[in-house]
Structure 1
Amino acid sequence: MRIDISLLPALAAAFVLAFARIGAMVMLMPGFGETNIPTRIKLGIALMLTLIILPLHRSAYHIDMTSLTPLMVLMVQEIIIGVVLGATARVTLAALSVAGSVIAQQLGLGFVTSVDPTQGAQGALIGNFLTILGLTLLFATDMHHLVIAALNDSYRIFVPGEIMPSGDVAALATQAFTAAFKIGVQLSSPFIVFGLVFNVGLGLLARMMPQMQVYFVGVPLSILAGFLVLVAVIATMMGTFLDYFGGVMHQLSP
């Protein structure tokens, strides 16, 4: 009995190409690609997703084993596609950081910073809290399944071996950054109104009572009232963010 192993090199090449796309996306995905997650766990998740997704799209890879140059070009394309998909999901999550920074400035807590576990850098305390809360809600509501579905459907949009539509990629990146900033400002809009009204009130109080130390009275009162507003609107804020995140992921999944 003879065993034909001539397909093994092409299958190995297809596995490496699929792993390049999936691994690049996993390294940037919210929840999976955080800096505090060990690299081995990220690689394990990428390998598991590759083993699941590759059999579904094995026929999409047309590999010529006689030349190395087309394989290298195809791998670069796969890495770029994975980075685009992962960065889109990451920028979507950044809307919470924008909202947290604006809220912290309005409450007088802009100078209070802590290490952001999702980025490994200093960030506003409220922004870090909203980011962690958003990640928790994404996994609690199974929204991370949409990211995996977008990865699976990316083989319909970005077919391996075809020229990438650079115009569509640039439009996607521009739209993602614009929408993230827009949603971040919209989420913090109650606090922008609160800060405007509160500061105008303090200004009137300072004019009416010049001998009163308005700053020492206003800062604690601003923090207290701001946290009360945060408690009142945080459910609506996070619901709006989940709808926005789901909308972006559905755009990536035709």
Structure 2
Amino acid sequence: MRIDVSLLPVLAATFMLVFARIGAMVMLMPGLGESNIPVRIKLSIALLLTLIFLPLHRNAYHVDLQSMTSLLVLMLHEIVIGIVLGATARVTLAALQVAGSVIAQQMGLGFVTSIDPTQGQQGVLIGNFLTILGVTLLFATDSHHLVIAALNDSYAIFAPGETMASGDVAALATRAFAAAFRIGLQLAAPFLVFGLVFNIGLGVLARLMPQMQVFFVGVPLSIFAGFLIFALVLAAMMGSYLDYFIGVMHDMIPLK
């Protein structure tokens, strides 16, 4: 009995190419690409997804083991595609940080910072809370499956070996950053209105009662009213964010 092993080198090269695209995306994917998640867990998830996607897209790769240069170029191409997809999903979390920063400034808590567990650096406390809540809701509502679906359908948009349209990638990145900033301001819109009205009221009160220490009255009242509004609009804010995230993921999935 003879076993044909001639396909093993090609299969191994194809596996590494699929792993390059998936691994790059997993390292940036919201909820999985966080700095406090062990690298072994990230690699395990990337390997598991590679084993799932390999039989589906194996025929899309045309591997030439006679030319190492073309193989390295193809791997670099796959890594760039994974980074583009992962960064597009990652930038959606920036909307929550923008909203948190605006809300904190309007409430008078802009100086209160803590370590952002998703980035491993200092961030506004309310922004960190919204980011953690957003990641939790993505997994609770199974919205992270859309990221995996976008990765699977990326082979229809970015076929292996084809030249990637740099203009389309730049347009995708521009739209993603612009949408994140716009959604962040829209989520914080109630607090922008609150801050405007509240500060105008304090200004009028200071002119009517010059002897009154407006600052000592305004700061605790601003924080109390801000948290009250925050509790009332939090559910609507996160619902709007989930709709935004789902919309971004659907833009990455081609129509069938």
Q: One fold, TM greater than 0.5?
A: yes
Whole-angstrom CA distance in 1 between matches of 2:165 and 2:93: 25
Determine the C-alpha separation between the residues in 2 that align with 1:19 and 1:216: 58
1:2 CA drift (Å):
1.2
TM-score under structure 2 length normalisation: 0.99
Q: Secondary structure at the match of 2:65?
A: coil
Query: Aligned partners of 2:148, 2:223: CA distance in 1, in Å?
Result: 40
Moved over 4 A (4+): none
Question: Quick one: which amino acid aligns to residue 231 of structure 1?
Answer: A
Give the aligned partner of residue 113 of structure 1.
113
Structure 2: how far apart are the matches of 1:182 and 1:170?
18
> What does the per-residue CA deviation read over 1:13-55, in whole Å, with 9 as the maximum and x for residues that have no partner?
0000000000000000000000000000000000000000111
1:215 matched to 2:215: yes
Distance 2:101 2:7 in 1: 54
Partner of 1:70: 70
1:162 and 2:167 aligned: no
SS in 2 for 1:22: helix
Partner Cα distance (1:84, 1:98) in 2: 21
Measure the CA separation in 2 of the matches of 1:10 and 1:162. 19
Aligned length: 254
Aligned residue number for residue 143 of structure 2: 143
What does residue 31 of structure 1 align with?
31
Q: What is the identity percentage for the equivalent residue pairs of Structure 1 and Structure 2?
A: 78
What's the counterpart of residue 171 of structure 2? 171
Shift of 1:245: 0.2
For 1:246 and 1:93, the matched residues in 2 are separated by: 13
Q: Secondary structure at the match of 1:114?
A: strand
CA distance in 2, matches of 1:67, 1:4: 23
Query: 1:3: which partner in 2?
Result: 3
Give the superposed CA RMSD.
0.4
Amino acid at match of 1:203: G
Partner of 1:134: 134
| Structure-2 separation of matches of 1:253 and 1:93 | 19
Partner of 1:203: 203
Amino acid in structure 2 at the alignment position of 1:49: L
* Structure 2 Cα separation of the partners of residues 177 and 90 of structure 1: 10
Q: Distance in 1 between matches of 2:5 and 2:77?
A: 28
In the alignment, structure 2 segments of 5+ residues that lack a partner are none
Amino acid at match of 1:198: F
For 2:243 and 2:9, locate their aligned partners in 1 and report how far apart those are by CA, in whole Å.
44
User: Counterparts of 2:249 and 2:55 in 1: how far apart (Å)?
Assistant: 23
Q: Could you state the TM-score of these two structures normalised by the residue count of structure 1?
A: 0.99
SS at match of 1:71: helix
